Amino acid sequence: MRFKDVPLKPKLVILIVVGVFLVLAVSMAVIIGTVTSQEEKLAYDKSIEMADNYANQFDAHMKANQAVARTLALTMAEYEASDREEAIGILENVLEGNPSLIGVYLGYEPNAFDGRDRDYVNTSGHDATGRFVPYCNKIEGPLVIEPLVHYDSSDYYQLPKATGKDILTEPYFYEGIFMMSYDSPIFKDGEFAGIAGVDVPLEYVDEVASNIRTFDTGYAFMVSNTGVFLSHPTRKDWIGKKSFSDFDSKEIKNASDDIRQGIGGHIEVKDPTTGKTVIMFYEPVETGESAFVLVVPKEEMLAGVADLRDRLLIISVISILFMAALAYMIARSITKPIDEIVDDFRNIAQDAVKGKLDVRANTDVEIDFREIPSGLNEILRAVIVPVRETIRVTNALAKGELKERVNVDVQGEFRDLGDTLDKFSETLNRIIDDSNAVLTAFQHNDFKREILVHGHGDFKFLTDGIEETRRALDLVTAQRKAAEKALLDYAMELERSNKLKEEMERVINNSPVIVFLWKYESGWPAKFVSENITRLGYEVTDFTSKKVFYEDIVHPEDLENMHEELARNVESGCDVYTSEYRIFTRSGEVRWVDERTFIQRDEKDEIHLQGIILDITEHKKAEEVLLQIEEIHKKEIHHRIKNNLQVISTLLYLESGNFSDRKVMEAFKESQHRVKSMALVHEKLYQSEDMVSVDFADYIQNLSNYLFQSYSVGSGKISLRLDVDNVFLGMDTAVPLGIIINELVSNALKHAFSEGEDGEIYIQLHRNRRDSPSYRENYKNAEDQVAKCEKPDCTGISSTQGINKVEDRLTLIVRDDGKGFPEGLDFRNTDSLGLQLVTALVDQINGSIELDTSRGTGFIITFQDLKYKPGV
């Protein structure tokens, strides 16, 4: 039910009561909030002040005990008599004069008191060392004198000695007594001589704190700065054993952190002992390094606040009920005369609905409401005239008299009603005239005459329908004309295309290239071949009739490579690639061709191949002649380089004879060996058949023999063992690898064996085998490299290339069983030119090197043969 449908009397009562309720509610809320917050603040302030007072009391007591220890230390620092009995008497007097203490003691460094420790061994107040360490206490009741214990390791002695400051120990149990100790250092002539201390029992702390009561059930307890309970009114088993931070409560843990930092405060938490919600107020006891905790039940602390709030709420409810009764009386006095007028209006409305517009309202009402029925009567009189005139004009329009107009003189909306009726007549007349003009144009096949007068509402359907019909007829006429023109243009274009096709076929057939269109099927059947296939002796029908497949004319030695290359490019998504291979003519002649293959895919993802073939046989023959000439030049170059290096080696040998310094002669000798290793590579290249690769097994044998002879061990006790695969390496790999072997073997011959010692130098060179760990690791890396290539180009890496790359890896091991490599020496960071050269050359051949000292000295080098790329 909507609020405007509610009767006036209840509405007035509701508005007055709600308004008064809101005013009173807001006012009382502000008053209650202000008063209760003040009362609550007073309760909190009172509790904080109480906790602070008790903390100050305990602090004063702790300061007094600390002052006793400090005074005793100052007294003994100025004590010159060095009388041990008199000093013990002082301790007894201090203990008797301070009933709150349970023990007083002194602890001196060896011979620091009087230099006579040896005379007092195991006497009263002394232990087996004779040190003056009297402990005067009344732990068991009567006063006794005992020697201090554990002073060599305990904090009560060691901390003052280390820091030179007063200390307060953590609470601890000794002889069944829970206590704390205050200790002060004794200095004589600026040097640490010992300590003076007092023991304070904590039973009185528990007694005093346990007797404190606040409100009805509030209580208090003490904890140390580390959280250990020093007292509790009910849980005596917690004292000295349980920590305040052990409770699983975030609020208590935060309070423990504050206590540890000497900060006061309060928290609201559930009491672990009673289960009630309480406020815990905690204040630090600075001197005792502890805290006083006051526990107050929240409901007891705020009981007065809750009672005051309840009384204020009762007053608010009574005020609202009183204002509701008053509002009802006011509403009744207002609504009674209004109800009488409403009943009279209802009767007039019922007559008006029945068409009786001559009925008038009763004006005999209270003076404040008399204008209402009088105004209604004036409205009824003003309505009758325009209604009757409207009925007259409407009847005329229904008879087709569209020129009839409203003739009465009225004002306001009645004038608007007459003008609207006149406008309707005029608009309808214009629509009919304009529509007749368009329909007349249709009869003469004129569809360009548009509707100029557009109606609204239902008239819009009429005018828009005529306009849409005109546009449709106009569009059909235009499309028919366009279709006729398009057919004529297509006929002309088709004629031009046929001519262009004939010209292209003439160009292809007269060119040196042959065009094929194959199916990607077994044998590569041709769907199309250019007519100039006759250059190879074949006819077009040989291929289109499938008597000859394209695979049939490819040289058998090239066929497998073509299959693999095509499959690889199709799988990789390549669109075009080039290749060279050999084919047979009809007469059996072998010809070299260069083919550019286009890979096409239709909507069904079917593959079609288009190839352009160019005969390059003469070009290939010219290349072979050039290669033969290049081989001769290479052979001559390697021979000359070998001779030049031999000359350099001889010059180094001769020049070394001009020096007597052993290190200089050794440097010349090493350089001579390096040059010899390079000359040997060029000699092997000169002797090889392809002038590109070196028989490295034979090279290692020759180089090793040369080195053994150079170091005069040809018939000695050091033997050489070789385990080398039949490996051929290119010059880019052979030269640096030969120098590496030269350096490692030379180092072994010079440094690995003592004079007269037997030994063996072992050289191994193998390609990575498929069953070796290094092969499997490199193979996996190659697979990962292929997988990362999402869409390589026509020259991108394939899985076959990746595996071949792995199998190109080789492992070289040079090992001796001598005295081993020096410990702690990093072979990659040494002053030795030979090892620096080895590590640099390993990087040059894209290899890795590791040192193995498990059996003598062994260097393990893994590398890849760098394919020699001659300059063009």
Q: Are 723 and 763 in contact (CB under 8 A)?
A: yes
Least confident of 269-283, 432-446, 495-509: 495-509
Distance CA 674, CA 672 (A): 6
Q: Are 558 and 566 in contact (CB under 8 A)?
A: no
The residues near 438 (Cβ < 8 Å, ≥ 6 apart) are 449, 450, 451, 466, 470
Which amino acid, one-letter code, is at 6? V
Q: Are 312 and 24 in contact (CB under 8 A)?
A: no
For residue 702, what pLDDT band results from cuts at 50, 70 and 90? confident
Mean pLDDT on 158-178: 88
What DSSP character marks residue 768?
P
Q: What is the DSSP string of 181-231?
A: EEEEEEEETTEEEEEEEEEEESHHHHHHHHT--BTTTBEEEEEETT-BBS-
Residue of 626, 687, 679 lying closest to 650 (CA atoms): 679
Residue 294 tokens, joined: 């006051």
Mean pLDDT on 32-57: 77
For residue 709, what pLDDT band results from cuts at 50, 70 and 90? confident
Which of 119-133, 289-303, 684-698, 818-832 is the most confident on average? 119-133
For 281-302, where are the alpha helices, taking DSSP H only?
A: 298-301
Q: Flag whether pLDDT at 506 surpasses 70.
A: no
158-165: Cβ within 8 A, 24+ apart:
159/183, 160/184, 160/185, 160/195, 161/185, 161/192, 161/195, 164/192
Residue where the block lists tokens 């849409």:
468
Which H helix or E strand runs over 598? strand 590-601
Mean pLDDT on 25-43: 74
For 288-362, where are the alpha helices, taking DSSP H only?
A: 298-301, 303-353
Check residue 146 and give its pLDDT.
Answer: 93
Residue 78 tokens, joined: 């100025």
Check residue 38 and give its pLDDT.
Answer: 75
- Report angle CA 681, 684, 688 to the nearest 5 degrees: 135
Mean pLDDT on 132-156: 91
Q: Flag whether pLDDT at 681 surpasses 70.
A: no
Q: Are 579 and 566 in contact (CB under 8 A)?
A: no
Distance CA 721, CA 761 (A): 6
Which amino acid, one-letter code, is at 433? D
Count how many residues are written for the chain: 872
Distance CA 391, CA 22 (A): 56
Mean pLDDT on 258-268: 87
Q: At what angle do helices 203-210 and 8-78 cross, to 10 degrees?
A: 160
The counts of H helices and E strands in the chain are 19, 23
Q: Flag whether pLDDT at 727 surpasses 90.
A: no
Residue 263 tokens, joined: 């900060």
Check residue 500 and give its pLDDT.
Answer: 62
Q: Flag whether pLDDT at 586 surpasses 90.
A: no
Q: Are 65 and 327 in contact (CB under 8 A)?
A: no
Least confident of 39-53, 592-606, 642-656, 711-725: 642-656
Give Dmax (Cα) for the chain: 155
Q: Flag whether pLDDT at 28 surpasses 90.
A: no
For residue 178, what pLDDT band results from cuts at 50, 70 and 90? confident
Least confident of 293-297, 461-465, 743-747, 806-810: 806-810
Least confident of 73-87, 660-674, 718-732: 660-674
Mean pLDDT on 684-702: 73
For 534-589, where are the alpha helices, taking DSSP H only?
A: 540-544, 556-572
Higher pLDDT, 108 or 238: 108
Distance CA 126, CA 145 (A): 9
Check residue 495 and give its pLDDT.
Answer: 67
Check residue 135 and give its pLDDT.
Answer: 93
For residue range 182-217, list pLDDT tens digits in order.
999 999 988 999 999 999 888 877 778 778 887 778
Residue 260 tokens, joined: 């540890």
Q: For the chain, give the mean pLDDT.
A: 78
Mean pLDDT on 722-747: 87
Q: Flag whether pLDDT at 812 surpasses 90.
A: yes
Residue of 184, 253, 266, 257 lying closest to 225 (CA atoms): 257
Higher pLDDT, 738 or 470: 738
Mean pLDDT on 402-425: 71
Mean pLDDT on 283-287: 81
For residue 661, what pLDDT band results from cuts at 50, 70 and 90? confident
Check residue 691 and give its pLDDT.
Answer: 54
- Report angle CA 498, 503, 509 to the nearest 5 degrees: 125
Give the percent of the chain with pLDDT over 90. Answer: 12
Give strand pairing partners of 578.
596
Check residue 862 and give its pLDDT.
Answer: 94
Residue 219 tokens, joined: 């209580």
Which H helix or E strand runs over 583? strand 576-584
Check residue 407 and give its pLDDT.
Answer: 73
Q: Flag whether pLDDT at 101 surpasses 80.
A: yes
Could you give phi then psi for residue 169, rounded to 5 degrees? -80, 160
Residue 207 tokens, joined: 């007694």
For residue range 347-366, list pLDDT tens digits in order.
777 777 776 767 777 777 76
Check residue 7 and give its pLDDT.
Answer: 73
Q: Flag whether pLDDT at 367 surpasses 90.
A: no
Strands 759-767 and 809-816: antiparallel
Which of 245-249, 270-274, 855-859 is the most confident on average? 855-859
For residue range 469-501, list pLDDT tens digits in order.
778 777 777 777 787 677 777 667 766 766 666
Q: Flag whether pLDDT at 452 surpasses 50.
A: yes
Could you give phi then psi for residue 590, rounded to 5 degrees? -90, 130
Residue of 206, 133, 146 lying closest to 174 (CA atoms): 146
Residue of 102, 125, 116 lying closest to 182 (CA atoms): 102
Mean pLDDT on 400-421: 71
Check residue 848 and give its pLDDT.
Answer: 93
Distance CA 356, CA 375 (A): 18
For residue 789, what pLDDT band results from cuts at 50, 70 and 90? very low
Q: Are 116 and 72 in contact (CB under 8 A)?
A: no
Check residue 804 and give its pLDDT.
Answer: 46
Could you give phi then psi for residue 613, rounded to 5 degrees? -110, 130
Distance CA 653, CA 647 (A): 10
Check residue 640 and give its pLDDT.
Answer: 53
Check residue 871 and give its pLDDT.
Answer: 41
831-836: Cβ within 8 A, 24+ apart:
832/747, 833/670, 834/670, 834/743, 834/746, 834/747, 835/743, 835/747
Taken in order 49, 55, 58, 64, the sign of the CA dihedral is negative
Residue 833 tokens, joined: 């030119």
Residue of 68, 306, 83 lying closest to 181 (CA atoms): 68
Which H helix or E strand runs over 655? helix 617-656
Q: What is the DSSP string of 390-424?
A: HHHHHHHHHTT-TT--------HHHHHHHHHHHHH
Could you give phi then psi for residue 222, rounded to 5 degrees? -120, 145
Check residue 315 and give its pLDDT.
Answer: 79
